[in-house]
Amino acid sequence: MPSEFPSPETRKRIQQAFDPDLLRVAGHRLIDEVSIHLKKAQQTEGKVLEWCSPEHNKSDAASWVNERICPSNDPEALIKHFTELIKTAMNRGINLHDPRYIGHQVPPPVPLAGLMDSLGSLTNQVMAIYEMGPWATSVESVMIDKLGMALGWKKDTFSGLVTHGGSLANLTGLLTARNVMLKDSWKAGLPHYNPDKSPVVVTHQDAHYSTSRSVGILGIGTSQVVKVGLDSKRHMDPNQLETVLARLRKNGRPIVAVCACSCATPIGAFDPLPEIAEVCRRHDVWLHVDAAHGGAAVMSPRYRHLVSGLDRADSIVWDAHKMMHVPALCAFVLYRNREHRFEAFQQDAPYLFDPTAPGQADYDAGMKTIECTKRAAGFGLWGIWSLWGSQLFADLVEMTFDLASGFYEQLMEAEDFQPLHKPECNIVVFQYIPKELEDSPLEEIGEFQLNLRRRIVESGQFYIVSTRLDGIGALRVAIMNPLTTKDHFNALLEGIRVEGKRIINMI
Ligand SMILES: Cc1ncc(COP(=O)(O)O)c(C=O)c1O
């Protein structure tokens, strides 16, 4: 150890890094800059995305921690440098608050939800045990109650947890299903491997990839995923489900779960849950519903019918960081039967879970989540729910779902565009087919869509995504921004036409 430790310089540096007054000045600056940035984004003054290659961005990001480290620890210099950092980060990021962002299922968060969320970051209210985040734990627990009761479940009969995203939520829900349906699998693993009798997970054909990934992680094996056929609107077909389950039962295959979707990612199709739940009940099978995107429809009297039957699921995944417009990540797993709340993990951690306060275990998030240290994820949702009530969530769902219907009508009216389905929510998949391509093979039309999308994104005019439906490329929008309007959609169609013509002229 040096003779004088800590040195005055060390002490000064640490004190400055923790200085609440420095935070106050920096915090005001941050909010001023974010407010200006969001205003510009909402008024479409810049680009949706300032496209830079990953190598370019990475090299610039590296420069700030190599040759551009703040030259002085003078508070004024630090604030000036801090301002440059946040401006750079915002300018290089994607602008979800720009109404021309019509891309992935990630929303512009309600800004005050972001602010509430920052409380957790600033004070680090982490969770594993109640004592380390008593208020954050209580907030999440209340939100679990509110979502469960919104589904129609009675208080104290159900349970749940909040985790870092829908993928982890699917893994947790399916782990619980595995442990309940395959007794002893937590301890013994799946040692009785017999290819003819090995356990299966039955899924929607369009299930999000995190479902089959979970099956792989759980040791069941992705080749034991049995996909159920879809109807013409890409819903899981209950009749085909019945046939699949009857065959599996006849062959003595243990069934871990049926995974249905509310809604499935590709086109936002909502499964007929009442019928699916009935088939599962007849075969005594665990029903897991991935409602990561569509769960929020429960909040809207006009769209609630889409998730009718969701209350009959044994486990549900519901991402508040999708259609409830809070910052990522805030994903819920809900169990209809409260008895299942500790089934996912049977962990002995004497340094954490205190046997002298057994009643508290219900509040120790670490008993139910994969994470030990876990970010407080509920502040944003709890905050905006308290400010605007549940009506805000109904408004957001209705606005974005209605916008999708309007966009669909615009596509139907345009001769050179073709919607590939009637939207059930805020996801629309379509193709641009100019005259020049009308007689081209489907594959060629599909590849054209993918090229078109890349050009649109790199131009910064709009952010949309692409997908493949039955192997054929298509354009896809998820209308996540409630400030998008019909005029933006018109401009999108026009922008697609212009870029499309450019590609055709290059061929
Ligand atoms: C239906 C569905 N489930 C799960 C996920 C994964 O959620 P996350 O990205 O929060 O891990 C997605 C993501 O879009 C999804 O659409």
Least confident piece of the model among 31-40, 177-186, 350-359: 350-359
Pairing mode, if any, of strands 315-319 and 287-290? parallel
Task: Quote the ligand 1 centre to 97 CA distance (angstroms).
Answer: 20
Residue 351 pLDDT level (bands cut at 50, 70, 90): low
Average pLDDT over residues 204-225: 96
Quick one: what percent of the chain has pLDDT higher than 90? 90
Residue 192: per-residue pLDDT: 64
Nearest to 380 by CA among 419, 421, 322: 322
Residue 191 confidence class, pLDDT cut points 50, 70, 90:
confident
The answer to whether residue 438 sits within a structural domain is: no
The answer to whether residue 20 sits within a structural domain is yes
| 497 to 395, 414, 453: CA distances (angstroms) | 32, 11, 11
Q: What is the pLDDT of residue 505?
A: 86
User: How high is the pLDDT of residue 409?
Assistant: 98
Mean pLDDT confidence for 172-181: 97
What pLDDT is stored for residue 17 in this prediction? 97
Nearest-10 Cα torsion for 227, 231, 234, 236 = -50
Q: Kindly state the tokens that stand for 437.
A: 């391509």
Atom of ligand 1 nearest to the CA of 294: 1
- Our count of domains for the chain comes to 1
**What is residue 352's predicted lDDT score, i.e. its pLDDT?**
65
Q: What is the mean pLDDT of residues 456-475?
A: 94
In the predicted structure, residue 166 carries a pLDDT above the cut 70: yes
292 alpha carbon to ligand 1 midpoint, in Å?
6
Residues with CB under 6 A from ligand 1: 105, 165-167, 208, 210, 265, 290, 292-293, 319, 329, 331
Residue 325 CA to ligand 1 center (angstroms) comes to: 14
Give the pLDDT band of residue 4 (cuts 50, 70, 90). confident
Q: Whose CA is nearest to atom 5 of ligand 1?
A: 166
Q: Which atom of ligand 1 is nearest to the CA of 170?
A: 4
pLDDT tens digits along 394-418:
999 999 999 999 999 999 999 999 9
- Residues 91-108 have pLDDT tens digits of 999 999 999 999 999 999
For residue 356, the model assigns a pLDDT of 79
- Residue 419 scores a pLDDT above 80: yes
Q: What is the mean pLDDT of residues 245-257?
A: 96
Ordered DSSP codes for 442-464: HHHHHHHHHHHHHHHHHHTS-B-
- Out of 263, 319, 333, 425, mutate this one to test ligand 1's pocket (max ligand atoms within 8 Å of CB): namely 319
Over residues 274-301, the mean pLDDT reads: 98
Instruction: Using the mean position of ligand 1's atoms as its centre, give its distance from the Cα of residue 355 in Å.
Output: 36
Q: How far is the CA of 167 from the centre of ligand 1 (A)?
A: 6
Give the residue, out of 164, 205, 208, 370, with the most ligand 1 atoms within 8 A of its beta carbon, to mutate for a pocket test: 208
Average pLDDT in the 210-234 region? 96
pLDDT of residue 435: 94
Ligand 1, atom 8: closest residue by C-alpha: 166
The model's pTM is: 0.95
Q: Are 163 and 323 in contact (CB under 8 A)?
A: no
Per-residue pLDDT, 63: 98
Those residues with Cβ within 8 angstroms of residue 119's Cβ, 6 or more apart along the chain or in another chain: 125, 376, 379
pLDDT over 90 at 12, yes or no: yes
CA 173 / ligand 1 centre spacing (Å): 14
Distance 177 CA to ligand 1 centre (A): 19
Nearest CA to ligand 1 atom 16: 265
Q: Is residue 48 part of a domain?
A: yes
User: Does some domain include residue 271?
Assistant: no
d(CA 437, CA 501): 11
Q: Can you tell me which atom of ligand 1 is nearest the CA of 167?
A: 11
Q: Atom of ligand 1 at shortest distance to CA of 263?
A: 1
Q: How far is the CA of 301 from the centre of ligand 1 (A)?
A: 24
What is the atom index within ligand 1 of the atom nearest the CA of 168? 11
The answer to whether residue 221 sits within a structural domain is: no
Q: Which residue blocks in 287-354 are alpha helix, DSSP H?
A: 320-323
- In a 10 Å sphere around its CB, with 0-12 CB exposed, 13-18 middle and 19+ buried, how is residue 260 labelled? buried
Mean pLDDT taken over the chain: 95
Say which amino acid occupies 95.
N
Average pLDDT over residues 147-169: 97
Distance CA 41, CA 132 (A): 38
pLDDT at 197: 87
Position 362 in a domain: no
As a whole number of angstroms, the distance between CA 229 and CA 244 comes to 9
From the CA of 403, how far away is ligand 1's center (Å)?
22
Nearest CA to ligand 1 atom 7: 166
3-state secondary structure of 493: helix
Atom number, ligand 1, closest to the C-alpha of residue 328: 10
Which of 215, 217, 293, 330 should be mutated for ligand 1, with most atoms under 8 A from CB? 293
Q: How far is the CA of 165 from the centre of ligand 1 (A)?
A: 7
Q: How far is the CA of 25 from the centre of ligand 1 (A)?
A: 37
Q: Which of 265, 324, 480 to mutate to test the pocket of ligand 1 (most atoms within 8 A of CB)?
A: 265
- Whether 279 is covered by a domain: the verdict is no
- The parent domain of residue 39 ranges over 8-95
Q: How many residues does the chain have?
A: 507
Output the pLDDT for position 500. 94
214 pLDDT above the threshold of 80 = yes
* Gap from CA of 217 to ligand 1 centroid (Å): 17
In-domain check, residue 22 = yes
The predicted-structure confidence for 362-380, as pLDDT tens digits, reads as follows: 899 998 999 999 999 999 9
Q: Whose CA is nearest to atom 14 of ligand 1?
A: 105
